[in-house]
Structure 1
Amino acid sequence: DPRPADAKDVLNAKVKYREAFRPFAPSILAAHAPDWFEHYQDAPYMERTLSWKAAVRARVPAVVHEDGTGRLQSVTAERNPRYHALISAFHDLTGVPVILNTSFNIMGKPILHTAEDAILMFYTSGLDALVIEDWLLVK
């Protein structure tokens, strides 16, 4: 959830264990992105850093970098139907078409590649829940 101002600190403390200055990324429904970013350009692979519109920055402080930008991922149903459905459900609940996106690893370790790796990290970190395909694990 990108809305709580302390979400970045909580995620760093419970899961990422990394420097506080490192930003988290927004994944946004592409159809809504022009309303949230200045001079919006599609960014399906997190290859762009764009400026947030001033009017929306306070709504998603956990994914707004210190300079008012975000390295976003634009999500469409055509490119990623499940991720789009997840963000759409969050949007329906909150009115915010953005979720916080980060790699699934801890500082100094490689990104996870298997379900076994994910389950091990789940049980050795502060994660509350883990979704793998159609499975939900909750502590």
Structure 2
Amino acid sequence: MHVKSAAGDAGGAIGAAFVAWRNAGGKCDFVMDDAFWGPSSEADEIAALLADRKEERDAAECSVSIEPNEAKLTEKVAAAIADGKVIGWFQGRAEWGPRALGNRSILGDPRWADMKDILNRKIKRRESFRPFAPSILKRATGEWFEEVDDVPFMMQVFQIREEKREEIPAVTHVDGSGRLQTVSADANPRYHRLMEAFEAKTGVPIVLNTSFNENEPVVNLPVEALNCFLRTKMDLLVLGDTLVERADSGDAGASNTRETEAA
């Protein structure tokens, strides 16, 4: 069974249209293997937005830098995740459907036992029993989960292997399960590269992935991402190649203790 990324009313409408098209004699050979069909933003649009909001950025003690080298960009962001920072990750075209799949995502370190509390304190403010999801490099699924399948749209729940649960407490639900997203280089090369950089630093091919929002619809445009960043306590915002970084809040100073406890 193949479950599309928008397995609900929106997906049902598209499916009905495909059925009608096929019944009318039309051909339907489209294979949807990623969900990145929404709008994207150009670098000049992002630059203009940040210039226009300079006073707000300065008031929030935020620095701005540009890193056009993708390897250096992903290494820096992976290091920030491993240091316990909360990342707003805004890349490419927005996802179609209800799930954040690595283009409009908030990212964190799954190894931190208190990462759920950190996210809820800084941004989400949601019920403590609600789990956060693991994005995993597709090739590593069998090593970390009891079932092996391609789950690119985060629509299925697998059991995390019992011996691995203590390594990733932030994405392990109370029953030992995780609503995973498998990530391939073909579907999302930059997100895949970020996760590989995180794996190189930590040995864990998984990042915590939750939707880029604060009790509202998932952000779609750069202005919405910046608004969410400025009104929350997110540490780092990555808009394409541009990094907006808050002055160190002190959480990173405690990261080594938390990381050791989580590991």
**TM-score bin (small chain):** over 0.9
1:138 to 237, 240, 245: 245
CA distance in 2, matches of 1:137, 1:118: 11
Confirm or deny that 1:114 pairs with 2:221. yes
The Cα shift of 1:106 comes to 1.2
Confirm or deny that 1:66 pairs with 2:151. no
1:49 to 148, 157, 161: 157
The Cα shift of 1:39 comes to 1.8
For this pair of structures, how many residues does the alignment match?
138
CA distance in 1, matches of 2:225, 2:242: 12
Which residues in structure 2 correspond to 1:1-139 (within 5 Å)? 1-107=109-215, 109-139=216-246
The Cα shift of 1:30 comes to 0.5
Using structure 2 for the length normalisation, give the TM-score.
0.52
The Cα shift of 1:45 comes to 0.4
**Paired amino acid for 2:232:** S
Maintained 8 Å contact 1:18/1:106: no
Alignment correspondent of 2:42: none
The Cα shift of 1:26 comes to 0.2
| Structural RMSD (CA) | 0.6
Alpha-carbon displacement from aligned partner over 1:84-114 (angstroms, at most 9, x marks no partner): 000000000000000000001112x111111
The Cα shift of 1:17 comes to 1.2
CA distance in 1, matches of 2:234, 2:155: 27
Maintained 8 Å contact 1:104/1:111: yes
CA distance in 1, matches of 2:137, 2:220: 25
The Cα shift of 1:58 comes to 0.4
Q: State the SS of the aligned residue for 1:40.
A: coil
- Structure 2's unaligned 5+ residue stretches are 1-108, 247-263
The Cα shift of 1:53 comes to 0.2
**Paired amino acid for 2:166:** A
Alpha-carbon displacement from aligned partner over 1:105-125 (angstroms, at most 9, x marks no partner): 112x11111100110111110
CA distance in 2, matches of 1:78, 1:7: 29
Using structure 1 for the length normalisation, give the TM-score.
0.97
**Paired amino acid for 2:119:** L
Between the aligned residues of both structures, percent identity stands at: 49
